[in-house]
Amino acid sequence: MSPQLPAGQDWVLRADMAALIRKSEDTVRRLVTKHELATRTDDKGRVLVRVDDFVTLGHLRHEDLTAGLTPAESAQVLRARESVTALRVQIAELTGRLAAAEGLSDTLREQLAQKDRQIAKQGDLLSRLIGQIAGAA
Which helix (H) or strand (E) segment holds residue 11: the answer is: strand 11-13
Predicted confidence at residue 6, as pLDDT, reads 44
| 55: Cβ contacts below 8 Å, ≥ 6 apart | 6, 61, 62
The domain locations on the chain are: 11-90
Please check whether residue 60 is in contact with residue 54, taking contact to mean a CB–CB distance below 8 angstroms.
yes
Q: What is the pTM of this model?
A: 0.56
pLDDT tens-digit series, residues 5-16: 444 468 999 999
Predicted confidence at residue 136, as pLDDT, reads 79
What separation in angstroms does the CA of 27 have from each of 17, 21, 35, 57? 10, 10, 12, 13
Higher pLDDT, 22 or 111: 111
- Give, to the nearest 10 degrees, the angle between helix 71-136 and helix 14-21: 70
pLDDT tens-digit series, residues 62-120: 777 877 788 888 888 888 999 999 999 999 999 999 999 999 999 999 999 999 999 99
Higher pLDDT, 36 or 78: 36
Please check whether residue 51 is in contact with residue 10, taking contact to mean a CB–CB distance below 8 angstroms.
yes
Q: Would you state the torsion angle of the CA atoms of residues 82, 87, 93, 94, taken in this order, to the nearest 10 degrees? A: 170
Predicted confidence at residue 127, as pLDDT, reads 92
Predicted confidence at residue 78, as pLDDT, reads 86
Predicted confidence at residue 2, as pLDDT, reads 38
